[in-house]
Structure 1
Amino acid sequence: MPTNKKESLQFGMIMCFGMVLVMTVYNLYLNGMFGKMNLLEGISDFVIGFIIALTLDVFLVGPNAKKLALKLTAKRNNKLYTILAISTCMVIGMAFFMSIYGLVTYSIRNGYHSNYLITDFLSVFAKNIIVALPLQIVIMGPCVRFIFMIYIKSTPNNVESV
């Protein structure tokens, strides 16, 4: 898909936008925050989450997930295995860090009233993985690849002349 750093950043931005949007709405619903927050607070949560997710994607999770996935699929010639491995590694890494972000954000807004930080984190992480993995593999991944191929790869600046 992406063949250079510019395309990789564009692909990552589109993917992060979609995933963070859906996961923000999901987590707000899960925590019963729709009636407690106004639209501006919801948008600010999304923007902050997007910035954090994009930073993680570009600098930490993305490079490490790709290295791991390429090692796991080194002897496979099927591109689908590589795409699924990268997607799965990305979701696990992003869900891990974004669950920490979500737990911290929720605690700042509502206070932290539990003595079970690890259990609470694992609960949030599991709930996020359950939604994020199928969302990434079945819906967001194919949609973003389609958008990328139509609007980014087909632009005159990205088409190489023969």
Structure 2
Amino acid sequence: MPKNLKEELIFTLVLAGLMVFGMTSYNVVLSQGFSLNSINEIFTGYPLGLFVALLCDFVIVGPIAKKIAFRMLIPKYMKKTATKIALTISLLMVAGMVSCMSLFGVLINNQNLLSYPTTWILNIIVALPLQLLIVGPISRFVLSSIQS
């Protein structure tokens, strides 16, 4: 877990950067197929997606996820292990960020808002394992290497 603002910023930049790249790639390939044009679309859409993700993370989802994790889901009488805290916050963050970023994707691509539930489901299916199995461990490794 990050111990200060510098570590929080680095951890969030790595985590959000990798998640946005992975999810942008997934969504572009899902909608357009894989081609040179899709690669261009991924890299042109990435900066705005990363900006929106960081904004959502710092302003909306992060504070809410941490508040829920520490006040509701991990009660005071339970032992607060680092693994339990990290997993709880990760699951809440994925749910919140998929909700925000799926809405962003629907709006930025001029899709009907009725496509939001389908978009959300397709994104959560990929975002959960991506975060829990790949991006989360990479981000925690980077964080542990700067803490040493």
Secondary structure at 1:31 match in 2? helix
**Separation (CA, whole Å) in 2 of partners of 1:21 and 1:62:** 19
**Separation (CA, whole Å) in 1 of partners of 2:85 and 2:147:** 20
Q: Is the 8 A contact 2:57 2:97 kept in 1?
A: yes
Report the counterpart of residue 142 of structure 2 in structure 1.
Answer: 147
Report the counterpart of residue 58 of structure 1 in structure 2.
Answer: 58
Tell me which structure has the larger Cα radius of gyration: 1
**Separation (CA, whole Å) in 1 of partners of 2:17 and 2:142:** 13
**Separation (CA, whole Å) in 1 of partners of 2:30 and 2:41:** 16
* Structure 2 alignment gaps of length 5 or more: none
Amino acid at match of 1:102: G
Q: Is the 8 A contact 2:28 2:38 kept in 1?
A: no
Q: Is the 8 A contact 1:95 1:128 kept in 2?
A: yes
Q: Which is helix-richer, 1 or 2? A: 2
**Separation (CA, whole Å) in 2 of partners of 1:32 and 1:38:** 7
* Structure 1 alignment gaps of length 5 or more: 155-162
TM-score normalised per structure 1: 0.82
**Separation (CA, whole Å) in 1 of partners of 2:131 and 2:140:** 11
Q: Which stretch of structure 1 is more off in the superposition, 33-42 or 80-89?
A: 33-42
Amino acid at match of 1:153: Q
CA RMSD of aligned residues (A): 1.7
**Separation (CA, whole Å) in 2 of partners of 1:17 and 1:140:** 9
Secondary structure at 1:24 match in 2? helix
Runs of 4+ in 1 over 3 A off after TM superposition: 33-41
How do 1:7-46 residues align onto structure 2 when only pairs under 5 Å count? 7-32=7-32, 34-35=34-35, 37=37, 39-46=39-46
**Separation (CA, whole Å) in 1 of partners of 2:82 and 2:143:** 17
Report the counterpart of residue 157 of structure 1 in structure 2.
Answer: none
**Separation (CA, whole Å) in 2 of partners of 1:39 and 1:81:** 37
TM-score normalised per structure 2: 0.89
Report the counterpart of residue 100 of structure 2 in structure 1.
Answer: 97
Deviation readout 1:68-105 (Å, 9 max, x if unpaired): 11121123313222111100110000000100111112
Shift of 1:146: 0.6
Q: Is the 8 A contact 2:32 2:38 kept in 1?
A: no
Aligned length: 145
**Separation (CA, whole Å) in 1 of partners of 2:61 and 2:98:** 10
Q: Which stretch of structure 1 is more off in the superposition, 77-86 or 121-130?
A: 77-86
